[in-house]
Amino acid sequence: MGSRAVGSDLTTTDVAGLSRLLTAGEVSAVEVATAHLDRIAAEDGALGAYLHVERDSALAAAAAVDAARAAGDELGPLAGVPVALKDLVVTEGVPTTSGSKILEGWRPPYSATIATRLAEAGTVLLGKTNMDEFAMGSSTENSAYQVTRNPWDRDRIPGGSSGGSSAAVAGHLAPWSIGTDTGGSIRQPAAVTGLVGHKPTYGSVSRYGLIAFSSSLDQAGPMARTVLDAAVMHEVIGGHDPRDSTSIDSPLTGLAAAARAGAAGDLRGLRVGVVRELGGDGHTEGYEDGVLARTREAVELLASLGAEVVEVSCPSFDLALPAYYLIAPSEASSNLSRYEGVRFGLRVGDDGSHDLDEVMALTREQGFGPEVKRRIILGTYALSSGLYDAYYAQAQKVRTLIARDFTAAFTGVDVLVSPTTPTVAFPIGSRVEDPIAMYAADLCTLPASLAGLPAISVPSGLSEGLPVGFQVMAPALADDRCYRVAAALEAAQDAARGHRLLDELPGGRA
């Protein structure tokens, strides 16, 4: 095998394929890591997906996998598979910034549970990916460090807040990555880059070591090129963790099996509800025609595979966006109070002329970007005495209404579907000064976030040459249904198309 040919093939091979090659000894972990690191060196200057690349330690970890395999050690199926982590996943000794200047240069003294579980599975950390500062945004333009570009069109956003992760995987700079989702930050970037992204049931993946944004909503999950790869990663990172008090103490299995079952293409007996309030009749304002067309086609495809399709109304979903933009900033204003310039991170103004309060205010003023400041101020407002009942408490009650709509809907159907986001990737710079327009990108993803339910985004095709995402939502702990339905859709589309959607990426197989 010529190393050049191997290199380009290895970066376009999915995780299932890499796992087979590594297990069979047809390629070494060092070859796989090198192929990705070389492609990062060549391409990431233009893409801006990574904030930090761990070249030396990645090669050392890969060499250790190869040595263990040569010595006859029993290795797991993912040993030697590279991975990228969103930069809010705390990694011991490896820079972790959450996209913020306030954590510039910080090297954490411990690792997140999900980072530890991925390492224990033998995966090789390539680096940390760019993101909107503290995960606040839908375009990754709120990163304090750099702009990240969409591999499908480099003048457009890769989604957010996990936009470095989406650009890395769609741009073949990592076979898969970890994203986190508070209001749609896994699903929306996956949708606009042609990837699969799953937000797990709240509590099914540990939050220990994830830099907090909105603690009652934050959840980490997989971003991958195939539904099966996403399910495999979910099984690695998921399951009970005593270090997260909101972690659900029940086993998490059957996700990869559900993806394999779905790919067989038989959905007879499955009841699918199309949510009217998310792009249906009377609710199409702000949705692009191409997105609605791909969504209709995906629904028809599910029906052709035997699913029974009905329209479902969830009237409270109309209030998801206002409720979210009160709850998330409120929790953020509290969570981000820990950045006070004393225990870690940036300190500004400590020159003897300022007291502690002033140093805190100067540190936070310089360390936080505009969207973070806006949300801290909004959250401080929504939590202030006299306004608490009208805003925060009211939003928490609306959350109950949304959860009840889901419960009612799931008495008649097994899954709910919708577009993932109302538009294809928008041009860089087009929404930066208009928070309301930016927030609209989360319209379809917010209901499942507020209710804590699992939801996946799977590609449904292209509109004007750009990827469109299809969302599948399921009851709590029924993540397997998301994988089953998404895999059925993926397999049927790939078969009809004759290739994977990502194969149409401009220059993707260069």
CB of 399 to another protein, least distance (A): 4
478 binds another protein (CB under 8 A): no
Q: β-pairing, 176-181 with 271-275?
A: unpaired
Q: Please, which of residues 160-219 interact with another protein by CB under 8 A?
A: 202-203, 216-217
Interaction residues for another protein, span 71-130 (CB under 8 A): 106-110
Q: Which of 56, 74, 355, 507 binds another protein (CB under 8 A)?
A: 355
8 A C-beta contact, residue 16 and residue 229: yes
CB of 444 to another protein, least distance (A): 17
Classify 310 as helix, strand or coil.
strand
Nearer to another protein, 107 or 497 (CB): 107
Identify the burial level of 90 via C-beta atoms within 10 angstroms of its C-beta, where 0-12 means exposed, 13-18 middle and 19 or more buried: buried
Closest approach, Cβ 350 to another protein, in A, equals 5
Stretch touching another protein by CB under 8 A, among 188-196, 245-253, 288-296, 303-311: 245-253
**Token pair belonging to 463:** 């509109």
Q: Is residue 430 close enough to count as binding another protein by CB under 8 A? A: no
Choice between 387 and 408, CB closer to another protein = 387
Residue 89 DSSP code:
B
Nearest to 222 by CA among 200, 194, 193, 244: 200
DSSP H helical ranges for 264-393: 289-304, 320-335, 356-367, 370-382
356 makes contact with another protein (CB under 8 A): yes
**449-468: which residues touch another protein (CB under 8 A)?**
450-453
CB nearer another protein, residue 168 or residue 336: 336
- Among 19, 28, 98, 161, the active-site one is 161
Token pair listed for 102? 């306030």
8 catalytically annotated = no
Is 405 or 490 the residue whose CB approaches another protein more closely? 405
Report the distance separating Cα 59 and Cα 52, nearest Å.
15
The minimum distance between CB 153 and another protein, in angstroms, equals: 28
For 334, other C-beta atoms within 10 Å of its C-beta total 16
User: Which residue in 41, 42, 70, 390 binds another protein (CB under 8 A)?
Assistant: 390
Q: Does 134 bind another protein (CB under 8 A)?
A: no
What gap in Å lies between CA 432 and CA 147, rounded to an integer?
A: 12
Which of 94, 376, 416, 487 forms a contact with another protein (CB under 8 A)?
376
Shortest distance, position 146 Cβ to another protein, whole Å: 22
The DSSP bridge pattern shows strands 50-53 and 196-199 to be unpaired
Site residues for another protein, window 297-336 (CB under 8 A)?
316, 319, 321-323, 325-326, 333
Question: Least distance to another protein from the beta carbon of 343, Å?
Answer: 6
Single out the residue of 3, 253, 400, 407 in contact with another protein (rule: CB under 8 A): 400
Q: Is 267 in the site for another protein (CB under 8 A)?
A: no
Closest CB to another protein among residues 147, 393: 393
Residues 6+ apart with CB under 8 A from 138: 132, 157, 159, 160, 161, 184, 185, 188, 438, 439, 441, 442
Question: Stretches 165-173, 298-306, 365-373, 500-508: which one binds another protein (CB under 8 A)?
Answer: 365-373
- Nearest CA-CA partner of 224 in 500, 507, 414: 500
For residue 404, CA distances in Å to 52, 195, 323, 419, 479 come to: 43, 30, 15, 21, 19
Asked if 162 is an active-site residue, the reply is no
Could you tell me the two tokens for 371? 């969207």
Asked if residue 416 binds another protein (CB under 8 A), the reply is: no
Spot the catalytic one: 19, 28, 86, 143: 86
Tell me if 360 contacts another protein by CB under 8 A. yes
Instruction: Please tell me whether residue 479 binds another protein under the rule CB under 8 A.
Output: no
Amino acid found at 55: R
Helix, strand, coil percent content, the chain, rounded in steps of 5:
45, 15, 40
H/E stretch holding 456 reads strand 455-463
Distances, alpha carbon 130 to alpha carbons 30, 84, 142, in Å? 25, 10, 10
Q: Which of these segments, 56-64, 190-198, 368-376, 465-473, binds another protein (CB under 8 A)?
A: 368-376
How many residues would you count in the chain? 510
- Site stretch for another protein (CB under 8 A), options 44-52, 180-188, 294-302, 432-440: 432-440
Per the omega criterion (within 30 degrees of 0), is the bond before 161 cis? yes
Selected from 72, 245, 499, 507, the binder of another protein by CB under 8 A is 245
Looking up tokens 């087009």 gives: 430
Q: Helix 479-497 and helix 227-237: axis angle, to 10°?
A: 160
Q: How far apart are the C-alpha atoms of 205 and 239, rounded to whole Å?
A: 6
Look up residue 177 and give its DSSP letter: E
Site string for another protein, 333-352 (x = CB under 8 A): x---x--xxxxxxxx-xx-x
Of the pair 176, 406, the CB lying nearest another protein is at: 406
- Count of positions on this chain that bind another protein (CB under 8 A): 75
Which parts of 1-60 interact with another protein (CB under 8 A)?
none
Smallest distance from another protein to CB 395, Å: 5
For the question of residue 138 being annotated catalytic, the response is no
Active site residues: 86, 161, 185
